[in-house]
Structure 1
Amino acid sequence: MFYWFLKFVAIGPLARVVFRPKAEGAENVPATGAAILASNHLSATDWIFLPLQLRRRVTFLAKAEYFTGTGVKGFLQRAFFTGAGQVPIDRSSASAAEGAIQTGLRILREGKLLGIYPEGTRSPDGRLYRGKIGVARMALEIGVPVVPVAVVYSSRPLPFGKKITRVRVRFGEPLDFSRYEGLAGDRFVERSVTDEIMYEIMTLSGQEYVDVYGAAVKKSMDATGASANEVVATLQPPAGEAADRAPTTLAG
């Protein structure tokens, strides 16, 4: 009930008035049954605008830190994200990543819409970064369509130097990977599927694509104080897929 309260009473109406979000291609989202909504991730508010455009409920995988706070603030934050339909996942290790994938699979087996961000974290500079293959693993194992999504923000100037942000949510045509049936767990197939999903997101969003992991860029930026461009110039696309099994989450 809290999910619908947020959508139709608390957050939804305010977001519609202030940002006037518009949907393009919402008919591409299946009316029933399980599906994955794979989106770019530019802002902590992405999870608000995406489900706001749909009649169906969307369940997101969210980082566990949102659910582990203490005191009154921790309680309120935990209650908010739980009520909003977010499911906590641990991103701290490879075993935790597998647990996140199993959580996503459970949600899909229940016939729900699963919202994930294949980049695994918010973009450090507005570009689209390499996707992690957890999205492919889930799509192949359950055999569900993947709907690529792009949340696009634009600013319009107002008098006296002010700007107002407008939001567009673009839903691409569902991607069918049934040709890879039985190949879940094959890292080369999963990488191919993930790259296809990221290409469609790039096409919808108009973002520049960077073939390195956004989380690696953020980590280096924090350690060195360098800009994203400087860090990207020093990084090479990963040779292996060991790090690919990190979970796809709400925010980073």
Structure 2
Amino acid sequence: MLYGAMKVSVGAGLKATFRPWVEGKEHVPAEGPAILASNHLSFSDSFFLPAMLDRRVTFIAKAEYFNSPGVKGRLTAAFFRGVGQLPVDRTGGRGAGEAAIASAIAVLERGELFGIYPEGTRSPDGRLYRGKSGGLARVALATGAPVLPVAMIDTEKIQPPGKVVPKLMRPGIRIGAPLDFSRYQGMEGDRFILRSLTDEVMYAIMRLSGQEYVDVYATVAKRRLAEAAKGGDAADPERE
């Protein structure tokens, strides 16, 4: 009930204010499980995508959003639960990763839609970074759910870092045809298969988004950019 109320109120507000456009909505199944694997440009991605779909989409979110103290913390937690976010402690290393995978599998086994950002974090510069193979691929092979590549377009331009007031503009969403990885069923223990599946999804996202692809992890790119900022030098994430 809370999700439905939040979806109506938040979704209606986003649609009226930003008028996002969507291509490929017909690829989302009317029922049954599916994985929406998206690029990640902005905090708002997890709101725009569910707002534009008829079905519930569940994402994994940082546990900090759910356990902050005070009235503001409780309101924030209620909001994130209301828009279909699941709390996972991402500071706990391998155990946290396993918990996230188990949560994703449970969502799909209920026949629902699960949203995931294979890059693992937001792009620091609008480019598309290497997908992490430990999450998306394992969930896809464990459940047999089809993977729909998704490209968020221009969401990072709505509220760039340092800007308090959002810019009124039309972001976009492109949803690609489902990718079937049944040929890899039972091979989730093979790291080369996990890498191949993930790279295929990232290539599909790149084709949809038109982003430049960088074959390093976004977390590495962020660290290098932060180090360069401290040193006063420009950094290219592709350079060691």
TM-score under structure 1 normalisation?
A: 0.85
Read off the aligned partner of 2:169 and give its amino acid letter. Answer: T
Separation (CA, whole Å) in 2 of partners of 1:65 and 1:189:
33
Runs of 4 or more above 3 Å deviation = 226-229
Does 2:77 match 1:73?
no
CA deviation digits over 1:67-99, x for unaligned, max 9? 121111111111111122110112221221111
2:140 matches 1:148: no
- Aligned equivalents of 1:63, 1:19: Cα separation in 2: 26
Instruction: Give the CA deviation at 1:164.
Output: 3.7
Contact 2:6 2:79 in 1 (8 A): no
Could you tell me the percent identity over the aligned residues? Answer: 55
Question: In the alignment, what sits opposite 2:201?
Answer: 197
Is the Cα contact below 8 Å between 1:40 and 1:149 reproduced in 2?
A: yes
| 2:149 and 2:178 in contact (8 A); partners too | yes
Higher RCO structure, 1 or 2 (CA under 8 Å, sep 6+): 1
Q: What is the match of residue 212 of structure 1?
A: 216
Question: Deviations for 1:119-174, whole angstroms, at most 9, x for unmatched residues?
Answer: 11011010111101110110011111000001102879xxxxxx642111111000
Q: Displacement of 1:229 after TM fit?
A: 6.5
Shift of 1:228: 10
Match of 1:225 among 219, 224, 229: 229
Matches within 5 A, 1:155-194: 164-194=168-198
Residue 102 of structure 1 pairs with residue 106 of structure 2 = no
Corresponding position of 2:140: 139
Contact preservation (8 Å) 1:136, 1:193? yes
Q: How far off its partner does 1:209 sit?
A: 0.6
TM-superposed CA distance for 1:6, in Å, is 2.1
CA distance in 2, matches of 1:52, 1:191: 31
RMSD, aligned α-carbons: 2.1
CA contact (8 A) 1:218 1:228 kept: no
- Relative to structure 1, is the Cα distance of residues 125 and 111 closer, same or farther in structure 2, using a 3 angstrom cutoff? same
2:126 corresponds to which residue? 126
Gaps of 5+ in 2: 159-166
Aligned residues: 229
Match of 2:59 in 1: 60
CA distance in 2, matches of 1:140, 1:228: 43
Q: Structure 1: which 5+ runs fail to align?
A: 157-162, 236-252
State how far apart, in whole Å, the 2-side matches of 1:55 and 1:105 are. 21
Structure 2 SS opposite 1:193: helix
